[in-house]
Amino acid sequence: MEEEKRRTGRHGVSGRGIRLKPGCLRRALDESRLSQNAWALRLGVSKAYLSQMVNGRRLHPGREVRRRMLDLLDLEIEQLFEVEDERKRPAPRRNARTKQRHVGSDASRSRVEGGIPSPRGGRRLLQVNWRRYQLELRRGTSAEMASSGQPSGRQDSTMERLIQDVKFALNSLTRRPAFVGVVLVTLALGIGANASIFSIIDGLLLRPLPYPRSDRLVAVDEQNLPRGWTHFGVSSQNWLDWKQRAQSFQALAAYNVAPVSLLHEGRAERVRVGAVSADFFAVAGLEPVAGRYFGPEEDRPGQDRVVIVGESFWKTRLGGNLDVLGNTLSLDGESYEVIGIAPALLDLPEDDLQLWKPLAIDFGVDRRGARWLRALARLEEGVSLEQASAEMAALARSLAQEYPDSNKDWGAVVTPWQELLFGDLRDPLKLLWGVTAMMLLICCVNVANLFLGRGAERSREVAVRRALGAGRLRLVRQMLTETTLLSLAGGLLGLGVAYAALSLFSQMDGLPRPERIGVDLRMLLFTLGLALAAGLLFGILPALMATRTGPANVLRGGGRSDSSGGGRLRSLLVVAEVALAVVVLAGAGLFLRSFAKLTDIDPGFEPDRLLTFRVEPPMNVSLQGERAEIIARLQRDRRRAGGFYQRLLDRLEAMPGVESASGVNRGPLAGNWWNTTFSVEGRHYSDPSDRPNALERVVTPGYFQTMGIPLLEGRPLNEADRDGAVAAVVIDEEAARRYWPEESPLGQRLTIFDPEDEDAVWSTVVGVVGSVSYASLQGQRRPVLYTTFSQAMSGHFGNWGMTMALRTASGQGPTVDSLRSAVAEIDPRLPVFAVRSGRDVLASSLRQQRFQLVLLTCFALCALLLAAVGIYGVTARSVQQRSHEIGIRMALGAAPGQVRRLILGLGLRPALLGLLLGLPAVFALKHFIASQLYGISGSDAVALIAAALTMVAAALVACLRPARRASRLDPLRVLKAD
């Protein structure tokens, strides 16, 4: 045994397995300018030794001679050496004077590209494409070489070895364009998907807001936990008390957002304006582009006729000329002087703000119960978010004791500004990123499988490399260099995929703030890191597998390069990627089922043949003075606006194709605006906060018929419910169920005023209609009170804007131009905007869910395709390896159908095992997935069964071609070839 080890060397293979090509050596020496004596000296051999090699009498030179020849001669390895098949090479004659050349040491490492059996038999040509292949020794084995009397050779630097590895990898990859193409496409899909989702997450959640010290910016909201309101508006009086008493903030500003009618260059349009307190811009910390911001003296009623324009509005609408400063703009019929230009970076939760004007609150009017503001603050240096939250909670409790009528059960919550802007997107984006991470793992598993198959083909040449002196670590390093180059190229293509995906996403409805999302340095660095990690992930296992077998076992293996262990590993990888694909498929199926449930929800109105648009005549009413005076002014302005809408409705109903027309202050799926509390006659409320609350909708007669809202009891509102008549109110089914659960609400009286006030207006319930979704389809529906525009008494409506609804006889209806003409005939200063059909209203309410579903579906299809490709590759490889067995089976009488069933079973086995692993993983994630679903659980049987059947169908399709190919094998040809 010891003699055998000594004779064969460390790796167990004799140096006689590497055969010299004397003709190639002779031609190389003849073309050289050096003499044979010089070459013998350079190679460290005698002239006779070199002559024997040239004449073919010494075909098996020693390891060190081979190393020096490769190092000094400008020849490819296949030009100088070939590997003999030991089964067909006669055993060498032995005598006492035969010097055995030992092969093997942990010498410097390199790698070889796959060896292919020669059809002539007996020999296999080395197929290596590295020009001037150089073998150097590891530093750790220099002493061993020296002790054996052999020179250690030149030690290359790390950079030189890296350059050699890169050159060899590039040349190796260029010889297999199809293989490289498949790998690059696979990696580009996985890396591009992750890069695009990272860009969205980075732009919305990770990247700091474009303000100085944006981490110190917080939003301060009121909350009423007993009623389930976690982030509510702030009353002006509470904000003023916070501003005066809170010590945690450098400054505390307030703002509100409302649309205004802008008349510019003879054209009326609707723009969004931010009404802000004077210290708002100081809190944001941004300097104006030009001009100045508001002063404290301009933040007062009557002195607020100044405006600041946004940078984008200034450039696009005002020509980008600084002469605009000092000019005036007409807003809601009033002139405002332009005093400054705000930077485009200035942002609020309500996007598309174009103008800014002073808030100008009249604190002489008691509005503590009207929570219509938002508050923005900057934390003091050294004050943490927790400290500010604790102080505001204590301050809210103090105000609740001071003003129990309006502040009981109301607290305060402090939220990071970025969390307020994008916090509701955190869970959906986490889910999308998890899906893309699984998709990248599937891509890496698929590429690893491809490299395992390629490593099996080249295992013989890897063995030759090791026999020539290369160690395992060097071979692994060379293979990782190849995979790293591929992953970097895949990352570069992935950037293109990500750029195209982001361009597509920005055009889709449902992606918020697309201007914050794009290709930047952070995304490039992330993609680079992801590509490097992917190259290591899919490259390390194939490299270890390709180099794990000793050279002797491979060189004596008769050409069967792939072992059963390698085949089992490839099958296990397919099982893993099928399991991951099943998780992604199940997730997409769950979201598809959830979206179907959402679209099946009855919104409470009939969207077909419905056309809506909005028009908002301004409310020019002073809110200063006594309460009675303010109410009188509001009533006069209400009559003015009522006359405008009546004339507009007459014109709309006269249009061709219009069956009916009506209006509502806020239409369905427009948000829970205008919440009010009321008292029911005959009921006692110990505390004002115990009064019922509902949404108040101001409508014109015929609204329920136009919208298709069913009447359940009583009568609808009609023309008789006008100013001066007995006040009438219609409630919805939810209000009747919640506040009159055991009696009919018809005839009951209620008021939104203080019931103890002798001037309180009492309205009689005359009808009950079906519930309508006003906030969202999936949200819980709020109780609703309907009153006519003529009898509306609430002054907190702001402006009297209405959403006009048209029921058309056909699906066409009036055009936008005809609607604008109808409004312009009455008041040319008023713009028409938000023109949408009933179906568009429904679709707009589901835009985020649709966006998420589209992305998940695309990722699921990619995962399914990649899993099918993996199954196909393993099955095709199995057919190739078992062709001899299949030939014997068919020669013994096996029918083609039996062979097909055999191969289909081989391909379906990893798919079924992947299903057994993937479905439990879906159950493990169901609690996280369930938070994003509606109407179904995270383990919905229909979605899981559909995902399983889809995966099985894809696996069957992937196995069909290999199965058909196996059934068509010619047994005689297969057996002869073997």
Q: What is the pLDDT of residues 702-740, one digit of tens each?
A: 999 999 999 999 999 998 888 778 889 999 999 999 999
378 vs 421 pLDDT, higher one: 378
Evaluate if residue 218 carries a pLDDT over 90: yes
pLDDT at 626: 66
For range 778-797, the mean pLDDT: 77
Give the ranges where 547-626 is alpha helix by DSSP (H): 551-555, 564-599
Span 806-812, mean pLDDT? 81
Distances, alpha carbon 303 to alpha carbons 98, 296, 341, 634, 858, in Å: 112, 10, 19, 22, 55
- State the residue for tokens 């020539």: 468
For residue 230, name the pLDDT band (cuts at 50, 70, 90). confident
Q: Are 606 and 708 in contact (CB under 8 A)?
A: yes
Q: How confident is the model at residue 85 (pLDDT cuts 50, 70, 90)?
A: low
Given a cut of 70, is residue 365 above it in pLDDT? Answer: no
Pick the closest to residue 371 from 406, 321, 413 (CA basis). 406
**What is the Cα–Cα distance from 520 to 513, expressed in whole angstroms?**
16
Give me the pLDDT at residue 122, please.
Answer: 38
For 543-572, give one letter per residue: b (16+ CB within 10 A) or e.
bebbbebbbbebbebebebbbeebbebbbe
Residue 976: other Cβ atoms inside 10 A? 9
Cα 732 from Cα 696, distance rounded (Å): 11
Identify the CA nearest to 592 among candidates 943, 835, 306: 943
- Whole-prediction pTM value? 0.73
Residue 627 to residue 366: CA distance in whole angstroms: 9
Adjacent-strand bridge partners of 485: none
Q: Which residues contact 363 (CB under 8 A, 6 or more apart)?
A: 236, 237, 240
Residue 703 identity = Y
Sequence-separated contacts (24+) of 592-597 with Cβ below 8 Å: 592/853, 592/857, 592/943, 593/933, 593/935, 593/936, 593/940, 593/942, 593/943, 594/849, 594/932, 594/933, 594/934, 594/935, 594/936, 595/846, 595/849, 595/850, 595/853, 597/934, 597/935, 597/936
Most confident of 443-457, 516-530, 549-563: 516-530
Using CA atoms, how far apart are residues 579 and 870, in angstroms rounded to an integer?
12
More confident residue, 96 or 83: 83
Q: Is the pLDDT of residue 966 over 90?
A: no
pLDDT attached to residue 617: 81
As a whole-number percent, the residues of the chain with pLDDT over 70 amount to: 82
What is the residue type of 359?
L
Is 129's pLDDT higher than 90?
no
Mean pLDDT confidence for 357-370 = 77
Q: Is the pLDDT of residue 135 over 60?
A: no
Cα(546)–Cα(459) distance, integer angstroms? 6
Q: What is the predicted pLDDT for the residue at 364? A: 63
Whether residue 93 is predicted with pLDDT greater than 60 in this model: the reply is: no
Query: What is d(CA 948, CA 906) in angstroms, rounded to the nearest whole number?
Result: 18
In this prediction, residues 843-857 reach a mean pLDDT of 88
Any idea which of 278-282, 449-453, 559-563, 870-874 has the lowest mean pLDDT?
559-563
Residue 3 confidence (pLDDT) above 60: no
What is the average pLDDT score of the chain? 80
CB atoms within 10 A of CB 158: 7
Token pair belonging to 728? 């009438």
Give Cα separations from 333 to 256, 274, 298, 832 (angstroms): 20, 17, 19, 16
The β-bridge relationship of strands 249-264 and 371-379 is antiparallel
Output the pLDDT for position 154: 42
Q: What is the largest CA-CA distance in the chain?
A: 130
What are the backbone angles phi and psi of residue 634, rounded to the nearest 5°? -65, -40
What pLDDT score does 225 carry?
Answer: 87
The residue ranking higher by pLDDT, 82 or 564, is: 82
Q: According to DSSP H, which parts of 55-206 are helical?
A: 63-72, 77-80, 142-147, 158-174, 177-201
Rounded distance between C-alpha atoms, residue 751 and residue 785, angstroms: 11
Average pLDDT score over residue span 445-472: 72
Q: Do residues 251 and 296 make contact, with C-beta atoms less than 8 angstroms apart? A: no
pLDDT value at residue 347: 62
Question: Is the per-residue pLDDT at 80 higher than 90?
Answer: no
Q: What percent of the chain has pLDDT over 90?
A: 23
pLDDT in tens, 167-207: 877 877 887 888 888 889 999 999 999 999 999 888 888 88
pLDDT score, position 12 = 37
User: Which one, of 288, 253, 243, 249, lies nearest residue 274 by Cα?
Assistant: 253
Q: 20 pairs with which residues across the strands?
A: 81
Helix, strand, coil percentages (3-state) for the chain, rounded to 5, are 50, 15, 35
Give me the phi and psi of 764, to 5 degrees please.
-100, 135
Taking only the tens place, the pLDDT of each residue in 650-690 is 999 999 889 999 999 888 988 777 778 888 988 888 776 77
Distance CA 141, CA 108 (A): 9
pLDDT for the residue numbered 109: 34
Is the pLDDT at 7 greater than 60? The verdict is: no
What separation, in Å, do the N-terminal and C-terminal C-alpha atoms of the chain show?
Answer: 33
pLDDT bracket for residue 977 (50, 70, 90):
low
**Mean pLDDT of all residues in 511-538:** 85
pLDDT of residue 118: 37
- 141, 146, 148, 149: CA torsion to nearest 10: 150
Quote the CA–CA distance of 465 and 479 in Å, as a whole number: 13
8 A C-beta contact, residue 172 and residue 479? no
Confidence class for position 121, pLDDT limits 50, 70, 90: very low
Tally of CB atoms within 10 A around 120:
8
Q: What is the pLDDT of residue 99?
A: 38
CB 925 within 8 A of CB 583: yes
15 within 8 A of 62, measured Cβ to Cβ: yes
pLDDT at position 150, please?
A: 36
Confidence of residue 113 (pLDDT cuts 50, 70, 90): very low
Q: How would residue 147 be classed by pLDDT, with cut points 50, 70 and 90? A: very low
Report whether 196 contacts 429 (CB < 8 A): no
Question: Tens digits of per-residue pLDDT, 693-706?
Answer: 898 898 999 999 99
The residue among 413 and 99 whose pLDDT is bigger is 413
